Amino acid sequence: MPNSQFVVSPAWLFEHLEDPQVVIVDCRFSLADPQLGQQQYQTSHIEGSYYLDLNQDLSSPVGKHGGRHPLPNPNDIANKLAAIGVNYQKTLVVAYDDSRFAFAARLWWLLRYLGHEQVAVLDGGFAGWQKSGYSVTNIIPPPRMGSFVAQVQIEKAVDFTEVKSRQDSHEVVLVDSRESDRYRGEREPIDKIAGHIPGAVNYPWQEVTDSNGYLLPQEEQRRRWEKLETSEEILVYCGSGVTACVNLLSLELAGISKGKLYPGSWSDWISYL
């Protein structure tokens, strides 16, 4: 995937490591071991990058409803972004992980939800950076002073009530982003109930990249979604509103901008059953 509005290559990022208008964010995380990403970051990361944690920074505390990773409070995340030097609508934020965008795409979507369009993911992630021969460091960069006032784009997200009211509409497509066996209810490693939201179609998020974490070419992204192009709305969910963001990135790469995230996703849906 060549450099675009939504993705940059390791070569491009290397050339912009000293650019004051670029802030790099390490989003590595493991659902099985929530401390692992932070530990990996402290051991080695791309020079100048800051760490944002899925649980602590990119989500708010879990409640009765809202799923396993509710969206963070806009003011809280805005303050954290400002503290790493992000200036609203000026700074280009480059997000990376080592999980085929599973967590970097959450930050990519979240920034756009907050009204900040200057955000891209690093193609190939941390492994791709290293394979390209670029060095890493364990030096933690000092805080930077930015200015970020969130302007929430509420139309980019839907809640349980909205999904329930639209799930039977012929103009709306509900996309389940989980692996096919989880979609079919044959396996459920995380949530208490297996299955999917009635009427949803399955587009596993792993199909957006190759096995090494590089985005498939734009033409393949377009072909992937061609059956849904004429839909009025595409509501996308996964287990908890994280990996669904990889599909939302894919939709944008395909030139389809009508995708919306159901942040609570399956884990929120079943909380009402």
Catalytic residues, which ones? 238
- Check residue 6 and report its DSSP letter: S
Amino acid residing at 253: L
**237 Cβ contact list (under 8 Å, min separation 6):** 163, 174, 175, 176, 177, 197, 200, 244, 261, 262, 264, 265, 266, 269
CA–CA distance, 241 with 236 (Å, rounded to integer): 8
Q: Which of 51, 55, 96, 58 is nearest to 76 (CA)?
A: 58
Helix H or strand E encompassing 134? none
